[in-house]
Homo-oligomer: A and B are copies of this chain.
Amino acid sequence: MESYQVERLKINYKTLEEFTKFHEYGLPELSMLDDLQANMIENDSLSPFYGIYRDGQLAARISLYRVDAKYDRYFHPAQDHYEIWKLEVLPQYRGQGLGQALVAYAKSLGLPIKTNARRRSDPFWVKMGFVPVHYDPARDRGESPYVWLPAGAELRD
């Protein structure tokens, strides 16, 4: 597999323009644009997004949100972990391992990871070493949660 450079994305007009090409575009992105326009955040502030550029454009992205231990509902003992959102590869760059490279980057951070396997993406997450949790309707509310556990981390019962 080719190795790709994963970069933390900075919030600026160029990045926000790149984001408009992705299917998952909503309040998180609009909120960044509002904050930038209102000078509530500085240009080039760090975003929760990481990405891979190809041919001079953002080809794939992932949102890695660090969840504080006090909000942990998945691991034992409760601990800081990452939640993966908005993993998306532009259509013309699919099948080249970019999604895998982004998830490998997330795992390299060494904390447990929780994600929601949407739209029948379960085989992808299993290939990446994730496992399904026991579905709890009150906690998971329609999600299909998958987690990745680094050495020593355990699932909550």
Interface residues of A (CB under 8 A from B): 23-28, 30-31, 48, 63, 65, 67, 83, 85-86, 117-120, 122, 132-135, 137, 140-145
A63 to B122, CA, bound (A): 20
Q: Which residue of B lies closest to A142 (CB)?
A: B85
Task: Indicate which residue in B28, B67, B134, B145 contacts A140 across the interface (CB closer than 8 Å).
Answer: B28
Residue contact B120 to A25, C-beta cutoff 8 Å: yes
Residue contact A28 to B137, C-beta cutoff 8 Å: yes
Copies of this chain present: 2
Distance in Å: Cβ of A114 to nearest Cβ of chain B: 10
Chain B residues whose CB sits within 8 angstroms of the CB of A122 once the complex forms:
26
Q: Which residue of B lies closest to A116 (CB)?
A: B26
Residue contact B65 to A120, C-beta cutoff 8 Å: no
Residue contact A23 to B120, C-beta cutoff 8 Å: yes
Residue contact A140 to B25, C-beta cutoff 8 Å: no
Residue contact A48 to B135, C-beta cutoff 8 Å: no
Distance in Å: Cβ of A129 to nearest Cβ of chain B: 17
A135-B30, A135-B31 known; A63+B142 contact, CB < 8 A: yes
